[in-house]
Each structure stands twice: as C-alpha cells, then as structure tokens.
Amino acid sequence: MASRSTIMDNNSFRAEHAAALDPQTRRLTERRDEVLGGSYRLFYRRPVHLVRGQGQYLWDADGQKYLDMYNNVASIGHAHPAVAEAVNAQMLRLNTHTRYLHERILDYTDELLATLPEYVDPTDFKAMYMCTGSEANDLALRVAKAHTGGTGLIATTEAYHGNSELSSSVSPALGSGQPIGDHVWLLLAPDGYRTGVDDIGPWFASEIRAAIADMESNGVKFAGFIADSIFSSDGVLPGNYLREAIDAVHAAGGVFIADEVQPGFGRTGEHFWGFAAHGVIPDMITTGKPMGNGIPVSGLFARSEVLASFSDTVPYFNTFGGNPVSMAAAQAVLDVIRNEGLQEHAKVLGAAALERFTQLGETHKAVGDVRGAGLFIGFELVKDRSTKEPDRELALNLLEELRHRGVLTSVAGPHGNVLKLRPPLPFTHIDIDWACEALDSSLRALN
C-alpha cells in the first residue's frame, strides 16, 4: 500500500500574513476565524474577497477583475442567466420534495442518460438525486456494499470523494488527520509521468489485482473501486488506460464507481463523461459540482442490477435532492451545454490552451509536464526535469504570483506541485493569452 499525503490540508493563509493585509481584508479574515470553526481553509496569503462573477471572470471588493482558472462548479459560467431564470421561475411556482409526482425529475433523467456514450445502454441505469457529491458517493458506497456483500474498497492515495463518514473514508486527500477506512486499500494513481511507466493500463490493473488479493488474504471481501476518471486531485491524469483495471474489478466481483464530480458534463471536450475516455461501463456514476452550476444538485446513476439489493430493501428519501428547483437548474445547465455547444468548445479551446501551455512549458525548465483533456489541464512543476523531483514550493509561490496577475487557480497531486487549470467552459482565446502571459511572467519572477 502506498503512503498518505496531505495536499488538501493546505492553508495558504497564516496568522503571520495578517499584518500585511489591508484593514478590510484583515477584519474579514479575523471575523471568519472567530465565527467559523478551525477546519475552514483559505486560499492565498492575502485572501481574495470576491463580490461578483460573470462568465469566466470574477471581481473582488476593490473592483479588480480576475480570470477564474479553477472553477468547475460555475462550469457554464458564473451568474449564467439561464440558470438564474430557471431557478427563479420554478421557485415562484413550486418547490416540494420527491414524494409527490413531478415531470421535471423524469424528463431531466431521460435527457441526461441520453448523453451516456453510445456503447452504454441508458435504460440499464436508474437515477437517484441528492445535493452534494459527498452524498452521491456515500450512497454509491452503501449500494456497492449491499450488492456485493463485501466491505473492501480501493481508492487512490490522493483521492477526494467527499466529507461524509463513508466518502471521507476513501478521501486520503483530506490529510493525515482523516482516518481512512479499515477496509480501504489505497493505490498510487496511474500517473505515467511520475511512475515512468509507459504502458500505465496494465501496470494499474496489476496494482488493482494485487490490492484485491491482499484484501482477500486479510479476510476482507472486495466491494469495489471508486475513482474520478481524470484523477484530478491525484494530479490530473487524462488518458485511456482504465479498461483492464475495471475488467479486473469485475472479475473479482466488485463494482466500479465512476466519480464524475470533476470530469463530467462536457469539460473534457472529447466526451461528455470522463469515464468514456477509457471506454468502460461504470456500475455507478456519481455527479455533483457542475451539474447545477452552483445550485446544490447531485446524482447517482446505478445499473439496475447493482442497485436492486439496496433499493429492494432500503427506502431512499432526500429532502432537497431532486426537487423541482434543483432539477430546473440542472435542466438549464444541460440545455446551455447543448445550445451553446460547450462540450465542443471545451474540446477546441482545451486543445488550443494545452498547446500554448505546452509551448510555454518548454521555455521554463521548472515545468516538467503539461497534460490535459479539454478544459482540464495539469501543469506540473519540478526542481529538475531529469529526476522529476517535485517543486511544491514553486507551485505555491506561483499561485500567489498568478493571483497578482489576476489569474486564480490551485494545486493538486500527491506532492502539491501540479497546477490544476480548469476554467469555466466559456473560456476564450483572449483568456488563453491572459493565462499564458501570467504564467510566463510569474515563472520569470520566481526564477
């Protein structure tokens, strides 16, 4: 089993930075400290106080404009009027729960499942709705256990799947203070760059097989493997390499939960769903973040056969999940993705951005690797290209420099040295220029 790391436990703001803050930011930061519990973290040594957003741009309290290179929640753009209007209209009409009949949840489900790749039969899936990705994964894990009768789970060493008791038990990205489940086996993510393995698919499949064997030799029955198929918190690892691993999961009687909270809803360009890049059929698909563009709505889409042992015996109810207002938001998001051609846009702009960031990387020796799928790009910083020694300090300093140049983003990966470049989908060529200039001058400033 691989060791644990602590990237999400990274508080950029520290008390010693307070003296350098302007009085208003300092007051807000201190108040936050007094009012909210200690678990809350802040981005940036000089925290950003945002007051407005539109499209891919954000504005702070001083009127400074930022390019949002981080936000996959406001995936179709901040303050999108289609979502605001759909929510407003439904809110003024009716908002109840799923124990009354309503068409919206059914129409939406039909339309969403129609976006599944051609090789997947949408009629084979049943939908359940909730409010957060954590809840979706929590339910998926319960279903996995009910279906298989097992308790053993596999996740990756830098995975994040949520903050509930169960979903946090497969979320080592929360840091060493977060207990990982007794029956959870953690594997290094299939990172071709860092492991130096050329054919990462067979390598990862053999890691999966070994973990299952180890689990079973410890008397733990295997239930399933949960992964975000672009492995965003593990450092953004696009590709087509999971098929053999998923075959191994199925051969051992386990289920594959595709956590689509990050790659779903067209962001990866080529595909609407992240798992489609791998040509695999998940047993369960979980969604969240971009699904409602900021309105809390999430989903679990499970193969009927897998869901049955749970749904035949346990009732499901979620006060807010799937209500007409959240479904109105989700429907508006889906309509906008289609009407504005955002998946195709993510593909075209993502390819252009990847090319520009790659060219830029070639001119800075601290850039070890640039990789991406659509508008989901990882920009990895190293001390030395030949040893690939990660440069976390540079990555954290780079975040601050980028912020001074109006570009907001954050880091990922077990070493915290990979910039996660993941803007709202309406991103343009002008924004690529902005991001490239900011990256270039920031890297020069830190040289």
- Supply the minimum distance, in Å, between the C-beta of residue 136 and ligand PMP: 7
CB nearer to ligand PMP: give 112 or 170.
170
Residue pair 59/51 in contact by the 8 Å Cβ criterion: yes
- Is 134 near ligand PMP (CB under 6 A)? yes
- Supply the minimum distance, in Å, between the C-beta of residue 428 and ligand PMP: 25
Cα 378 from chain centre: 13
CB nearer to ligand PMP: give 403 or 422.
422
Question: What strand order describes the sheet that includes 50-54?
Answer: 50-54, 57-60, 65-68, 407-408
Q: Is 437 helix (H, G, I), strand (E, B) or coil?
A: helix
CA–CA dist 324, 202 (Å, integer):
45
CB nearer to ligand PMP: give 165 or 305.
165
Q: What are phi and psi of 123, to 5 degrees?
A: -70, -10
- Supply the minimum distance, in Å, between the C-beta of residue 17 and ligand PMP: 25
CB nearer to ligand PMP: give 269 or 288.
288
CA distances 61 to 14, 25, 32, 368, 424, Å, are: 21, 9, 16, 36, 21
Interface positions, 263-322, toward ligand PMP (CB under 6 A):
288-289
Cα 394 from chain centre: 23
- Supply the minimum distance, in Å, between the C-beta of residue 236 and ligand PMP: 12
Residue of the chain from 138, 228, 283, 401 that contacts ligand PMP (CB under 6 A): 228
- Supply the minimum distance, in Å, between the C-beta of residue 326 and ligand PMP: 13
- Is 98 near ligand PMP (CB under 6 A)? no
- Supply the minimum distance, in Å, between the C-beta of residue 413 and ligand PMP: 14
CA distances 330 to 75, 116, 159, 289, Å, are: 12, 16, 26, 11
Half-sphere exposure of 12 (CA within 13 A, CB side): 20
């198929």: which residue's tokens? 229
CA–CA dist 296, 318 (Å, integer):
12
CA–CA dist 128, 321 (Å, integer):
8
- Supply the minimum distance, in Å, between the C-beta of residue 172 and ligand PMP: 13
Q: Which pair of structure tokens corresponds to residue 200?
A: 């990462």
Residue of the chain from 56, 90, 98, 132 that contacts ligand PMP (CB under 6 A): 132
- Is 160 near ligand PMP (CB under 6 A)? yes
Stretch that binds ligand PMP, among 26-34, 116-124, 158-166, 418-426 (CB under 6 A): 158-166
Residue of the chain from 47, 53, 77, 133 that contacts ligand PMP (CB under 6 A): 133
CA–CA dist 248, 270 (Å, integer):
26
CA–CA dist 211, 1 (Å, integer):
8
- Is 326 near ligand PMP (CB under 6 A)? no
Residue of the chain from 161, 278, 345, 347 that contacts ligand PMP (CB under 6 A): 161
CB nearer to ligand PMP: give 321 or 368.
321
- Supply the minimum distance, in Å, between the C-beta of residue 170 and ligand PMP: 10
CB nearer to ligand PMP: give 228 or 283.
228
CA–CA dist 162, 228 (Å, integer):
12
CB nearer to ligand PMP: give 29 or 137.
137
- Supply the minimum distance, in Å, between the C-beta of residue 105 and ligand PMP: 19
Cα 373 from chain centre: 13
The CB-nearest residue to ligand PMP is: 133
CA–CA dist 63, 361 (Å, integer):
31
Burial classification of residue 38, based on how many CB atoms lie within 10 Å of its CB (0-12 exposed, 13-18 middle, 19 or more buried): exposed
Stretch that binds ligand PMP, among 26-34, 160-168, 365-373, 384-392 (CB under 6 A): 160-168
CB nearer to ligand PMP: give 132 or 169.
132
- Is 158 near ligand PMP (CB under 6 A)? no
Stretch that binds ligand PMP, among 40-48, 129-137, 250-258, 268-276 (CB under 6 A): 129-137
Instruction: Give the helix ranges, DSSP H, for 255-323.
Output: 304-311
Interface positions, 244-263, toward ligand PMP (CB under 6 A):
259, 261-262
- Supply the minimum distance, in Å, between the C-beta of residue 301 and ligand PMP: 15
Stretch that binds ligand PMP, among 82-90, 127-135, 195-203, 370-378 (CB under 6 A): 127-135
CA–CA dist 162, 151 (Å, integer):
18
- Is 137 near ligand PMP (CB under 6 A)? yes
- Supply the minimum distance, in Å, between the C-beta of residue 289 and ligand PMP: 6
CA–CA dist 73, 93 (Å, integer):
26
Enumerate binding residues for ligand PMP (CB under 6 A).
132-134, 137, 160-163, 228, 259, 261-262, 288-289
